[in-house]
Structure 1
């Protein structure tokens, strides 16, 4: 790690990241024409973003920067692999790590592992169904599509919110702060599927104004709230490809499955770019 990268990691440890994220939440939702137009224009120029795939192709049609950032895409923009045995990517992003859940731990970066139980907000008994399973960590850069979709048919059975910090989750920070995903605030969505348990963990990050889902609405802010858990009285069915939530600014999704449920495709390795709807794994026992 270079001196510049170490300084970036150190700065995050001392900055008031919760306060800065609350400020970002206010600014990105401003509907003042001059402000939202300037933010959108500069963002599109800096990241080379085109609106060709967006439902709203006129930048002035967005009522705020956040409306633009979480923009909906045309129906055919992300083809969905409909094969019964296909596990699809829930997001557009880049693979940070993917592999087996070994001894209840996941790989964060080279030489850094962290607890799957802490990530999910469960005890060792609750983690049991994921032991010997697989995980994939998908990083969403600022330029990515920021809506989150269901990777296979399933039923939502529980949600666990864990408060925490709001460190960046870019590659430099992930390599420099051990346990960063367990330190940041996050929401775990737990599903029951035809191949066993499946979890999607939505990890907050600096300047992520909020995490929201179709069942809870906006989860954060307020930041720093107490942990909470909700078990669904009646599990809620969700079809593959359905939108389930979004990040209002960029972050990370971690997907976990039970033993024997998923086999990742050979190309799913660190640094690989994926798009929502494309096959990233094959489901055990389904064809």
Structure 2
């Protein structure tokens, strides 16, 4: 079987293109492309039962060595986090690690929109039918993902940011600026993988998976829809924030357990994604961005 790899992505800090092995790529390719694989996918792996079983397994001491192996394989520097190797008793201990105070400072420029998660970003000035990466434009529209005609009208023709997290990434998500949480609702759905392999085979994952939609308001960036998308193995999306107002960099919640995605929709003309993210998205590449770095700025017109 041909080895599945990520397309090249741009590492903003290293300032170079990187290609790496796709996490669980071969297994996902089999499940999403073969008739037998699809039986397993729809019969078990894309169900809540699998997410629950997987989450319980990752809490087990049997997974401690898996965590230690991934730390070594992916060269994760534990000095940046609030956990030491001796503290890891299961994979979940490693998965829910937090950054040490000051390890990821948030950009405090009022004209910039800070990275709300650490992961692989895509950015669009607006969605349209010509978009093909990672999914067709119709599957990345506010209408499809928000499933609310009245709310989605606010974001027609507006900018979009997508941040995908792999299972080895930091899985807490944050607020990108100061503002208010004005409303929230939940959309039930499937729990398909959000890996690029899965997205190539099943284009509608972002609008059919479970989603938690949060409506935000900022004086600097206007109204936004902040959407947390569940995924294979993500049994729960936890919200740790419960106040009406928030500050830039404040913790909002976390995914438990597995790869996941956050999509942010904005109003037309209020802001646009950073130039490097737009450039690499146009070239069908994601941009690896650290938590707190600038990922968008207020429109200047």
| TM-score of the superposed pair, with normalisation by structure 1 | 0.82
Q: Taking structure 1 as reference, are residues 36 and 110 closer, same or farther at Cα in structure 2, changes over 3 Å only?
A: closer
Of 182, 193, 199, which aligns to 2:225?
199
Residue in structure 2 matching 1:29, options 53, 59, 71: 59
Q: Measure the CA separation in 2 of the matches of 1:128 and 1:28.
A: 41
Aligned pairs, how many? Answer: 261
Give the Cα separation in 1 of the matches to 2:231 and 2:179.
Answer: 27
Q: Give the C-alpha shift of residue 253 in structure 1.
A: 0.7
Aligned pair 1:59/2:59, yes or no?
no
Uncovered stretches (5+) of structure 2, i.e. residues with no partner = 5-25
- For the Cα contact (< 8 Å) 2:195–2:259, is it kept in 1? no
From 243, 247, 251, the counterpart of 2:251: 243
**1:92-147 deviations in Å (ceiling 9; x for gaps):** 111245331349x9866354522422312312x22121112100111111222111
Structure with the higher fraction of residues in helix conformation: 2
Q: Which residue of 136, 141, 146 maps to 2:166?
A: 141
Aligned position for 1:163: 188
Aligned residue for 1:118, secondary structure, equals: helix
The DSSP-based 3-state class of the residue aligned with 1:136 is: strand
1:187 matches 2:212:
yes
Deviations, residues 128-176 of structure 1 (Å, cap 9, x unaligned): 2111210011111122211101011111111121111111101111122
How far apart are the structure 2 equivalents of 1:40 and 1:264?
Answer: 34
Q: Which runs of 4+ in 1 moved over 4 A?
A: 2-6, 105-108
State the TM-score, normalizing by the size of structure 2.
0.78
Asked if the contact 1:198–1:258 (Cα under 8 Å) also holds between the matched residues in 2, the reply is yes
Matches within 5 A, 1:28-47: 28-30=58-60, 34-47=61-74
Alignment check: 8 A CA contact 1:99 1:135 kept: yes
Give the Cα separation in 1 of the matches to 2:163 and 2:261. 6
CA RMSD of the aligned region, Å?
2.6
From the two aligned structures, give the one with the greater strand fraction. Answer: 1
1:20 equivalenced with 2:47 (yes/no): no
Specify the alignment match of 1:231 in structure 2: none
Once the two structures are overlaid, the 10-residue window that deviates more, 187-196 or 238-247, is 187-196
